[in-house]
Amino acid sequence: MSAATAPPSPATTPPAEPSDAPERRLKLGGTTRADLWSLAAPAGGSLALDWLLYERLLPFSGAQGFLLCWYVLFLGLYFTVGRLQWDPLNVRERMVTLLAWSSGLLVVGLILDQIGYVLVRGLDAARHSNFFTESMEHTAALSPITSGGALNAIVGSLEQLGLATLFAVPLGIAAAVFMSEVGGRLARPVRTLVEAMTALPSIVAGLFVLGVVILTFGAEKSGLAAALALTVMMMPIVTRAAEVVIRLVPGTLREASYALGGSQWRTVWNVVLPTARPGLMTAVVLGMARGVGETSPVLLTSGFTAGMNADPLEGRQVSLPLYIWNYVKQPYPDMVARAFAAALTLMVIVLVLFVAARVLGGRPAGRMTLRQRRRQARSDRAAPAARAEQPAPRTPVGVPAGATR
């Protein structure tokens, strides 16, 4: 073979030109079309089989049973379809994922259903401004929906909840600090008592305040008595949640504080509590959410009144749960609409509490607040001017300028 017809050597082979075809992106994770069909086919087949069982073969009835049977059949068919195309480990993983997603969607659906039901039933009364600006003092059972409102109940709930929070939060956090930081022989009995109070029925708290404060000491039913009953309900919730949060603070922070000479009190006040502040705010909100919707304690301790009473220390004072309980059982549609509007207002109050807790407790420990950052910025701007105003050091007589000792 001549040199002209010999194949080129590897060293002289020209490099291949790049292809003009567009690059394809590799998708990692996510859901493919096959996964969607693997979900849709068992869902449709289980629905058809469920309808056949309920409507043609078996004497079953009821929407709840229909949905439950559909869900069970769907899980069975999805497992069968998965075993036909995936390995056993992948099938178990997908089944657990499906159970987790379906449980979450079920919880969200129930919450939305409750909110929607209350919104539909109470919107007729809540859309009128008089509901938030008037009380029921001059409103009769057959009065139109544009008369009367729940202003007295809103004010009463806010005052009672505020007093209960003022009483329960310091006591609950102090008890949590005692059990987690101080300890000793009394820590175990205190923890047992707190756990027992956590499961205490709300009616027992109302009976306790009724028997001790009202009947024994002769105090009248008022917002303060209702706040004391709510305190009994809120304090164990705050204590248990705060103890768990305080125990999550790393022990190295305490050791560092002790190594710097800090006492136990200074360590708890300046290190432990600021570090656990977001969790403590969550504990406070949990306690407030428990107390704001209680009906039995306030029913026995605050009394009911249709008029406005902004003084929690004297006279009967109604709250939103008691307002709802009193009007929802009446046979008048407008009264029932007012009760559902009050329930909607109570939901909004709880939502505001949760948002406020997230805003107040969302700043991580060690990060400066806006005021502290402004103060630091002012001090940084003033530092160069302060150094410029300082007089230059005097040179001793007989020593040349710039000389060093």
Residues 217 and 285 in one domain: yes
| Structure confidence by residue, pLDDT tens digits, 61-83 | 888 888 889 999 999 999 999 88
Confirm whether 144 is domain-assigned. no
- pLDDT tens digit sequence for 151-175: 999 999 999 999 999 999 999 999 9
Decide if 30 is inside a domain: no
Domain shared by 284 and 180, yes or no: yes
In order of 59, 109, 167, 299, 346, the CA distances from 352 in angstroms are 48, 21, 21, 25, 10
User: What is the pLDDT at residue 28?
Assistant: 47
Q: Report how far residue 293's alpha carbon sits from residue 112's, in angstroms, rounded to the nearest whole number.
A: 19
Q: Is residue 138 part of a domain?
A: no
User: Structurally, how many domains does the chain consist of?
Assistant: 2
Residue with tokens 């910025």: 377
CATH number, domain containing residue 326: 1.10.3720.10
Any domain includes 107? yes
Q: Helix or strand or coil: residue 63? A: helix
Weakly modelled stretches of the chain, pLDDT under 50: 1-4, 10, 26, 28, 405
Domain-located, residue 12 = no
Q: Same domain, yes or no, for 92 and 166?
A: no
Residue 11, in any domain of the structure: no
Q: Are residues 224 and 121 in the same domain?
A: no
- Pair 159, 264 in one domain: yes
Provide the pLDDT for residue 405. 46
Q: Are residues 98 and 189 in the same domain?
A: no
Predicted local distance difference test score (pLDDT) of residue 264: 85
Cβ burial, residue 211 (10 Å; 0-12/13-18/19+): exposed
Is 103 within a domain? Answer: yes
Contact 135, 154 (CB under 8 A): no
Judge if 121 and 245 occupy the same domain: no
Quote the CA–CA distance of 214 and 221 in Å, as a whole number: 7
Dihedral sign computed on CA atoms, order 126, 128, 130, 136: negative
Q: Domain of residue 187: give its range.
A: 151-364
SS3 154: helix
Same domain? For 212 and 100 the reply is no
Please report the pLDDT score of residue 198 as a whole number: 85
- 109 and 207 assigned to the same domain: no
122 with 182, same domain: the answer is: no
108 and 158 co-located in one domain: no
Examine residue 353 and state whether it is found in any structural domain, yes or no. Answer: yes
Q: 309 and 167, same structural domain? A: yes
